[in-house]
């Protein structure tokens, strides 16, 4: 009976074999990949991925990756396409058909109908002399020398290689489109990533009665009480027009107690920092995190274009919003 050490040896052998397969695919990339990427980039319709069996599973993943990174794409099952779903494919679409052997009967059955449409057919197979390759407008060879399956039967290295090839196409298109994190978030509004990317400072900042702020000239004792009540660990100091003039933090308070024995007559003006770090309300919450980390502070004050205080937030707010 195999021991734990044997399991690890077998697992590493699989991973090494598949890694070698990826290196082989990378070395095989040629002008056909460029033509395929260019056809996908300039597609005025949709990208349609199709494949049977394991190739179909890989195709669904490739379509999902493309769709979420700026390339409108969806999967069509080739057998279902032969029974009506071919109507989903229209002129100006680009069809990407996947088959390791290049001899999929289900795909071969729909190729004549596809060729009657004004579409571009890209085939990804391991055999440039296959039936699918011969009918393709663009053929990408995805062949590996060895499957990770010791029997050489189960698609393993070959499916990994095609999935990686699909990722390569998707990322090339993403970069060619100058796709941004904001673009990505628009395709993922319900996910935690989308929320992180779309959430703005205004969405999570403390404002109005929850805003820790006092006017210039406020006695220190009164300022400390106000800061404690709001619970943000900082206090904004403004002029009569609401323009931000300084900030006082609980860290400043601790240092003050270490440096002085008497506090009679002190106002917040005398101990505040006159140039606090600020951020506009319309900026992304992720940007607020970067500002805090870069300046080694746990809170930020929010101001408008005229310097008027509008809000405040701290690291705890970002943590609760799952930004950290």
Phi and psi angles of residue 289, each rounded to the nearest 5 degrees, phi first:
-60, -45
In the sheet that holds 234-238, the strands lie side by side as: 213-215, 234-238, 244-249
Tell whether 77 is in a known binding site: yes
CA distance 302 to 224: 20
CB proximity list for 137: less than 8 A, separation 6 or greater: 39, 120, 121, 122
CA distance 56 to 232: 53
- Cα separations in angstroms, 55 against 91, 125, 152: 24, 10, 17
- Cα separations in angstroms, 107 against 2, 79, 86, 87, 315: 42, 8, 11, 15, 55
- In sequence order, the β-bridge partners of residue 120 are 94
List binding-site positions: 77
List binding-site positions for Zn(2+): 77
């Amino acid at each position: 009976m195999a021991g734990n050490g044997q399991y690890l040896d077998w697992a590493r052998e699989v991973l090494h074999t598949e890694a070698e397969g990826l290196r082989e695919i990378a070395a095989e990339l040629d002008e056909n990949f460029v033509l395929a990427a260019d056809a996908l980039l300039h597609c005025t319709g949709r990208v349609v991925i199709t494949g049977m069996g394991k190739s179909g599973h890989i195709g669904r993943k490739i379509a999902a990756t493309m769709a979420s990174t700026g390339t409108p794409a969806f999967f069509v099952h080739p057998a279902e396409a032969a029974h009506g779903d071919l109507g989903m494919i229209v002129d100006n679409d680009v069809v990407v058909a996947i088959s390791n052997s290049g001899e999929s009967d289900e795909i071969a059955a729909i190729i004549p109908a596809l060729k009657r449409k004004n579409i571009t057919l890209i085939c990804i197979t391991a055999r440039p002399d296959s039936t699918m390759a011969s009918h393709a407008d663009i053929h990408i060879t995805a062949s590996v020398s060895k499957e990770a399956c010791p029997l050489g039967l189960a698609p393993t290295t070959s499916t990994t290689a095609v999935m990686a090839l699909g990722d390569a196409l998707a990322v090339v298109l993403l970069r060619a489109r100058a796709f941004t994190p904001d673009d990505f978030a628009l395709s993922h509004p319900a996910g935690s990533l989308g929320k992180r990317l779309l959430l703005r400072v205004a969405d999570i900042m403390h404002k109005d009665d929850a805003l820790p702020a006092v006017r210039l000239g406020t006695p220190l004792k009164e300022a400390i009480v106000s800061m404690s009540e709001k619970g943000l660990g900082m206090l904004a100091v403004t002029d009569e027009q609401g323009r931000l003039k300084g900030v006082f933090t609980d860290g400043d308070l601790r240092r003050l107690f270490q440096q002085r024995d008497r506090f009679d007559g002190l106002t917040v003006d005398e101990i505040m920092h006159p140039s606090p770090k600020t951020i506009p309300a319309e900026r992304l919450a992720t940007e607020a995190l970067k500002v805090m980390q870069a300046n080694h502070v746990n809170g930020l004050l929010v101001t408008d274009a005229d310097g008027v205080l509008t809000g405040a937030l701290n690291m705890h707010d970002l943590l609760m919003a799952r930004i950290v």
